[in-house]
Amino acid sequence: MNRRNSLINQILKEIYFDLNERELVLKKKELRALSNARLEEIFKNEVAPILEANELNKELELEWLNEEYECFRFN
């Protein structure tokens, strides 16, 4: 059950972040009605790519900051 709630919360956070509170409640009810397999599929196809892109962006930003620091340090 914990995995299921975690999937629902991640889906809401990453895909439906722009809904108002009422719409979020309705979307959460809709997601709870789905099977575990369907939730996993949504997570795999829609949420995982977003999370991977966010992680890549963080890595690139860190790399850029390190390069900026090195340039600043040696100037």
Cα 69 to chain center, whole Å?
29
Residues whose CB is less than 8 angstroms from the CB of residue 2 and which lie 6 or more positions away in sequence, other chains included? none
pTM of the model: 0.65
The burial class, CB within 10 Å (0-12 / 13-18 / 19+), for 39 is: buried
Tell me if 51 sits within 8 A of 14, measured CB to CB: yes
For the stretch 1-55, pLDDT in tens is 698 999 999 999 999 989 899 999 999 999 999 999 999 999 999 999 999 998 9
For the stretch 62-72, pLDDT in tens is 888 888 888 87
Tell me if 4 sits within 8 A of 36, measured CB to CB: yes
Given this model, what pLDDT does residue 75 score?
65
Angle at the Cα of 55 from the Cα atoms of 50 and 60, rounded to 5 degrees: 125
